Amino acid sequence: MSRVLRIEADGGSRGNPGPAGFGAVVKDAATGEVLAEVAESIGKATNNVAEYRGLIAGLRAAQAVDPDARVEVRMDSKLVVEQMSGRWQVKHADMRVLAQEARSLAGSHVDYGWIPRAQNSHADRLANEAMDAAAAGRQWQRATTEPAAAPGPASAASRAVDPDGPPTTIVLVRHGSTLLTEQRRVSGRYGEDPELSERGVAEAEAAAACREVQGADVVVSSTMRRSRQTADAIAERLGVRVVVDPQWDETDFGDWDGLTSAEVVKRWPREFAAWNDSGDAAPPGGESLRTVERRVLAARDEVLRRWAGQRVVLVTHGDPLRVLLRSVLGAGPQVQRRIHVDPGSRTLLRYRADGSSEVLAVNRV
């Protein structure tokens, strides 16, 4: 079976036309591991031109990673997706040139699909950084094709250049409660995406007011509604921005989503037992803990690279939080289900520039 890469691309302008930029990220489709990023400010252009430029850059980056791989392109631009899929005509002359360039790069091994903007947040973030540079009149670009570091307590990719530099503190916050949380139902990556309950709103406000998050430089959140609402409450209190990254989303629980543990055990007793004991077992239609671990630890390295020496509030979910805690403790996947984290709780991790790390606090409420 050939390797499958996933391209997420975006582009835009401030004014349409106006200062424009694009961003694209290439991931391993099976694991979510980030393999390449590319972004660039392109001066004055329209939204559609910038979106096509993002697609073309993503296709080139995917070729650099693995020219023989099959490619899934996912964008929140319905225009580009429909035109590249051949369902809509490309009427504008500028668009025809760009579409032809994209087709020449894509060949026959690329398929296109639309995704909501919330699921395209990584590329959207890169595009906005490029647009900010364009609006300031600066030339700016970013291109990385290094694979994410292998899982471990603190990989070399996450270390600061100066081994004597200040440590990075990550304040892990589990999102506040939802109705599904209160009913003890499984709530995963592609399920209902519930909002915070009344209790959850109170938990988010309590997290925003706690001393652990004070002085944070940035708030990072998963794309899921309950996480974003919790992150927004914290960021508003601190006066900092929220950076949304889908790699911090909860596990995809597949057919188990929305069910209680008792219901899952009754219908899938063997599958549940295997999932509970092994990092390689996955719920039917879902993802294994090993897959979640790969994307979460790659996202951790990105946080440590971007905000080295700073205090980061990371609002995420039960499984990603437990993965990070295990990685610092050096514990295997069999420990995952034995770690309890309350909604709205805070867990503090410290990463030193020399690669060492330690747990400062667990499950504070």
Q: For residue 219, give both structure tokens.
A: 């708030």
Could you say which DSSP state residue 191 is in?
A: S
- Alpha carbons 274 and 212: distance in angstroms, whole number: 37
Residue 11's φ and ψ, nearest 5 degrees, are: -165, 160
Catalytic residue at 340? no
Catalytic residue at 175? yes
Could you tell me the end-to-end alpha-carbon distance of the chain, in angstroms, rounded to an integer? Answer: 47
Among the residues of the chain, which ranges form H helices? 47-65, 78-84, 93-106, 121-135, 179-182, 198-209, 225-238, 261-267, 269-277, 289-306, 318-329
Q: Do the Cβ atoms of 324 and 172 come closer than 8 Å? A: yes
Give every CB contact of residue 234 below 8 A, 6+ residues apart in sequence: 173, 204, 207, 208, 213, 216, 219, 313, 315
Q: Which of 8, 33, 122, 175 is labelled catalytic?
A: 175
Give every CB contact of residue 80 below 8 A, 6+ residues apart in sequence: 48, 51, 52, 55, 112
- Alpha carbons 363 and 365: distance in angstroms, whole number: 6
Any idea which residue has 């400062």 for tokens? 360
Any idea which residue has 């499958």 for tokens? 4
Strand partners, 114: 75
- Alpha carbons 264 and 6: distance in angstroms, whole number: 31
Residue 348: CB atoms within 10 A of its CB come to 16
Q: Which of 51, 250, 293, 302 is labelled catalytic?
A: 250
Q: Indicate which residues carry an active-site annotation.
A: 175, 250
